[in-house]
Amino acid sequence: MGRSPCCEKAHTNKGAWTKEEDDRLIAYIRTHGEGCWRSLPKAAGLLRCGKSCRLRWINYLRPDLKRGNFTEEEDELIIKLHSLLGNKWSLIAGRLPGRTDNEIKNYWNTHIRRKLLNRGIDPATHRPVNDGPNNNHPTTTTATATTNISHSNPSLDAATTTISFANATPTTHLIKEELEDETKLNSDDRKIKKTLPEFQERCPDLNLELRISPPHHHLLPQANCSSSSSSSSYVHPQLQHVSYHHHHHHLRHNQNQPLKTGGRSSSVTGGTTICFACSLGIENSKECSCTSSVDGTSGSSTGYDFIGLKTGVLDYRSLEMK
């Protein structure tokens, strides 16, 4: 008893979409909204498979798509996210507003792979191509990168950003403990839960702990990222622990607030929680309703300034891998 085919293949068009088909699909979705892809073709008068309609809409017709070349910032963000998430194109696409997983996947395969190879980096492992087994330092569990971040405020010049990817850290345990409670998880959280051991295995010397100094406003009581207009890369001299949760969630969420999908920054509890999207600088993410803006002295108006990526104060490739 097999599954029924997703569509009547004998009576469906395949291949490139025509202008008329596009118009029909757009008109239908404008009227009825997305969803029910299986029944959409018939209802819209299209001789197409529902999956094909969905793909066409998501990858090409959606009005919020950002067309055009990828920026250097997007390149670096993709590389960084790929090093953490692997070929989870949809998760990566979720960090790049206006870009689709298909687009990023294609771009990766055609441009970034080559770019990394030219840099002498293996695109699959994000390690130097010549980095043999002896250089993997398998016994070391902590890769701590310490970088000085220049800042307009002299008092912050010595601010330290620590990115630790070690396995056995309190924060990581915390992540695991929270993810152990299935009742608190939604589907996205479960995806992350599945991903966690995956990229710990992928990068045995990496853990998930991102330790950066949060924007000053995050230290204020009741502060959240929707209430501030200060720079997203403002660094408080006192190191704060920031959980690195790679799906735009808040790992140390308020006990009174269920851990849920969505970018709304939770309140800072003891300076330990930060909206991941905002920490990435992706303020215009669909999932993030944070309204914080940058002040121009740092950060990025385009929203991509992952721990100083745009300004070049922290090049992840320079991170010390022990």
Distance in angstroms (rounded) separating the CA atoms of residues 84 and 82: 5
Binds DNA by CB under 7 A, chosen from 62, 98, 102, 141? 102
Residue 6 is a binding residue for DNA (CB under 7 A): yes
Q: Which of 29, 49, 77, 145 binds DNA (CB under 7 A)?
A: 49
Contact 33, 57 (CB under 8 A): no
CA trace torsion 200, 232, 150, 71 (10° rounding) = 70
Neighbours of 290 (CB within 10 A): 22
| Range in contact with DNA (rule: CB under 7 A) among 34-42, 135-143, 196-204, 211-219 | 34-42
Cβ nearer to DNA, comparing 58 with 174: 58
Q: Please tell me whether residue 54 binds DNA under the rule CB under 7 A.
A: yes
From 35, 45, 258, 296, residue interacting with DNA (rule: CB under 7 A): 35
By CB under 7 A, is residue 79 in contact with DNA?
A: no
Number of residues that bind DNA (CB under 7 A): 41
Task: Tell the smallest beta-carbon distance from residue 285 to DNA (Å).
Answer: 14
User: Using CB under 7 A, which residues numbered 167 to 226 contact DNA?
Assistant: 187, 190
Nearest by Cα to 16 from 75, 67, 60: 60
**Residue 59 or 160: which CB sits closer to DNA?**
59
How many CB atoms sit inside 10 A of residue 188's CB? 18
**At closest approach, how far in Å is the CB of 127 from DNA?**
18
**DSSP per residue over 41-95, as a string?**
HHHHT--S-HHHHHHHIIIII-TT---SPPPHHHHHHHHHHHHHH-S-HHHHHTT
Query: 236 with 223: CB under 8 angstroms?
Result: no
Binding flag, residue 110, DNA (CB under 7 A): yes
**Which CB, 139 or 183, lies closer to DNA?**
183
Give the integer Cα–Cα distance in Å for 282 and 121. 26
Name the residue nearer to DNA (CB basis): 58 or 219: 58
Interface contacts to DNA, rule CB under 7 A: 1, 3-4, 6, 9, 13-17, 35-39, 48-52, 54-56, 59-60, 87-91, 101-103, 105-107, 109-111, 187, 190
